[in-house]
Amino acid sequence: MKIRVKCFAWAKEVTGEDEIDLEVPEGATVADLRESLAERFPVFSGRMESIAVSVNQEFAGEGTPVDAGDELGLIPPISGGCA
């Protein structure tokens, strides 16, 4: 199935897109999303562990299911605030 993933900050810059479509198997998890992402955009492979994945606006572990209807996001390390 096709899932749509929002890209932010560094992830948006290296993909060149606000959102990307990825192909994952039915019953896929965040781990499958990452695998598909690294295949399509090898630049992620080197720093995959620093990129969090959000599912419906929550940080999600590797085993979290992802579905075509979910709001998915790639969250590079954040730097809220300042100082």
Partner 1 sequence: MICRITDSPIDMDELTDSLDSPELGGLCTFVGKVRNHSAGQGVTHLEYHAYPEMAEKKMRQVAEEIEERFGVAHLAMAHRVGTLAIGDIAVGIAAASAHRDAAFKACRYAIDRIKQIVPIWKKEFGEDGVAWVEGCAVDAETAEPQKAQNQRV
Contact footprint for partner 1 (CB under 8 A)? 6, 8-10, 12-13, 30, 47, 49-54, 57-62, 73, 75-83
In whole angstroms, the minimum distance from the beta carbon of 34 to partner 1 comes to 9
Q: Which is nearer to partner 1, 45 or 57 (CB)?
A: 57
Min dist CB 1 to partner 1, Å, is 21
Residue 48 Cβ, how far from partner 1 at the closest point, in Å? Answer: 10
Q: Are 31 and 65 within 8 A, CB to CB?
A: no
Residue 38 φ/ψ region, left for φ over 0, alpha for ψ in the -120 to 50 degree band, beta for the rest? alpha
In 3D space, the residue among 25, 24, 19 whose CA is nearest the CA of residue 4 turns out to be 19
